[in-house]
Amino acid sequence: MSVTSENSEFAQAVNGVVEAAVPVVHNMGVRATSARRGYASSMVPVEGNGNHFGVMYAGVLFTVAEMLGGAIAVASFDGTRYYPLVKDLRITFKRPATSDVCAEATLDEDTIIRVTREADEAGKSDFTLESTVTDADGVVVAVTTGLYQLRAHGR
């Protein structure tokens, strides 16, 4: 996947924040590849992220999916007013990953509106994000369900 001109600003912003604030994720090679309102994708190379039996380490698969909550929040909510955090993330491993992987997630417009309204009124709002992690052949290697929270700054 590559960053397109349509969404490169958000993807670059996510990658800059990850590099500065969560260097271990950056060092894995996890990168946001797309981020726009209601959509985010990321990727991570298999090289350097293997385990003891030659497939991608489970923690790397977890990480490439988990970071989508922050990426989608950057692109869908006003970062000067809100910040995201992860409250829970469940992963189901489907197949071993032996190649680079990509993760994708979407957030519908009604949820974006609800979460914004609730964060304005109560200072925070929860949302669920489901992601799919696929290998270079498009085979699903993992799926996640994450519970994220959007919080208003200063509350």
Residuewise pLDDT in 10s, the chain (155 residues): 333 334 578 899 899 989 998 999 999 999 999 999 999 999 999 999 999 999 999 999 999 999 999 999 999 999 999 999 999 999 999 999 999 999 999 999 999 999 999 999 999 999 999 999 999 999 999 999 999 999 999 87
Instruction: Give the number of other Cβ atoms within 10 Å of residue 128's Cβ.
Output: 12
Decide: helix, strand or coil at residue 82.
Answer: strand
pTM equals 0.91
Q: Tell me the three state secondary structure of residue 116.
A: helix
Going from the N-terminus, what domains does the chain have, and what CATH number goes with each?
8-152 (3.10.129.10)
78/90 Cα distance (integer angstroms): 27
- What CA dihedral angle connects 19, 22, 25 and 31, to 10 degrees? -40
41 beta partners? 34, 104
